[in-house]
Structure 1
C-alpha cells in the first residue's frame, strides 16, 4: 500500500470530510489545500508526483491524535521523515487511546485474531528480538475494523 491508500483508508474509517481533513492537518501547522486533499483521495491520480510524503502522512496522523485526544501542551511532535506500518499502527492506537485488549477486540470485529504477544510484536523497537514488521494486510484489517465498529455504533 502506498501513503495515499493508507490515507484513504483512515479518512474512510473515521468518516472524515475535506474540511475535517484540512483542520486535522492545520492542527499540526501543515497547510494543505482542498486540491491536495482531493488529489490524495482520488485513486485515479495515484502516481509518484501525487502521493503523500511520509512527512505529510505523519503530520496527518499527529493531527488525528490532536483531534481525538486533544492537543498536548508545549511543543508539538515533529512529523517523522520515514514511516512504516508499525509506526502508523502505533499512531492510530494512540489517537484512539486503545490498550492491547481494546485492539484485540477491534481486530475480532472483522474476524482477525491475534494474541497479546503477536500484537505486542508490532509495537516493539526494530532492534528487539520480538519485533515483527506489520504487514499491509494487518493495517488494512485494523482500519476496516475501526470503520465497521463506527458504523455499528451509528446504526
Structure 2
C-alpha cells in the first residue's frame, strides 16, 4: 500500500471534500492546489513492467507530504494547539524507517478523531481483525522504543476500512 492509497482510503472513510483536504495540507504547512489534490487521489494505471502509465495525471505522495496532511487533519479536527510562548517549538521528527508511515497514520488519526485505544480495538473488531491491547500499544509506541512494532499494511488497510464503516 502506498501513500496515495492511504490518502484515498482516509478521504473515503472520513468523507472529506477536496477543499477541506487543501485546508488540511495548508494547516500541516504544505501548500497544494486543487489540481494537485485531484492528481493525488488518482490510482495510477500500470503496465506489465509495473511502470506508471499517464504519469501526468498522477502525483505520488511522499512521506513528508502525508505527515503534513495528517498534522493538518489534527489541527482541522481539534483546532490549533495551545502552546506557551516561552516554550520552544519541537521539530517534527522524520521517520527513521519508511515502513513506520502506517504507525504515524494510526497515531495521528487517533489524535485527530479523539479515539481511545478501546475505540481502535472496536474498529478492528468491526472488520474481524483480532488485535490485543498490548499489540495495539506496541503499534502506537514511538519508533525506537524497545516494545515498538511496525504497523503492517494489513492493519492499516483494515483500520481504514473500519473507519469507513464507522464514519460513513
TM-score by length of 2: 0.80
Deviations 1:93-138 (A, max 9, x none): 1111112111101111212121111111102233333221100010
Over 3 Å counting, the alpha-carbon distance change for 1:76 and 1:55 in structure 2 is: farther
Per the alignment, residue 2 of structure 1 pairs with 2
- Residue segments in structure 1 that go unaligned for 5+ positions in a row: none
The reply on whether 1:43 has 2:43 as its aligned counterpart is yes
Stretch of structure 1 that moved more, 127-136 or 69-78: 69-78
Asked if 2 retains the 8 angstrom alpha-carbon contact of 1:58 and 1:79, the reply is: no
Over 3 Å counting, the alpha-carbon distance change for 1:106 and 1:77 in structure 2 is: farther
Q: Report the structure, 1 or 2, having the larger helix content.
A: 1
- Is the radius of gyration larger for structure 1 or structure 2? 2
In structure 2, the residue corresponding to 1:7 is in which secondary structure?
Answer: helix
Per the alignment, residue 132 of structure 2 pairs with 115
The reply on whether 1:56 has 2:65 as its aligned counterpart is yes
Per the alignment, residue 142 of structure 1 pairs with 159
How many angstroms apart in 2 are the aligned matches of 1:127 and 1:84?
14
In the TM superposition, residue 85 of structure 1 has moved relative to its aligned partner by: 1.2
In structure 2, the residue corresponding to 1:132 is in which secondary structure?
Answer: coil
- Residue segments in structure 2 that go unaligned for 5+ positions in a row: 47-51
How many angstroms apart in 2 are the aligned matches of 1:99 and 1:86?
15
Over 3 Å counting, the alpha-carbon distance change for 1:71 and 1:114 in structure 2 is: same
Give the paired residue count.
151
Asked if 2 retains the 8 angstrom alpha-carbon contact of 1:85 and 1:135, the reply is: yes
CA-based RMSD of the aligned residues comes to 2.3
Per the alignment, residue 24 of structure 1 pairs with 24
Asked if 1 retains the 8 angstrom alpha-carbon contact of 2:28 and 2:70, the reply is: no
Stretch of structure 1 that moved more, 127-136 or 50-59: 127-136
How many angstroms apart in 1 are the aligned matches of 2:20 and 2:74?
13
1:102 to 119, 134, 152: 119
Over 3 Å counting, the alpha-carbon distance change for 1:34 and 1:7 in structure 2 is: same
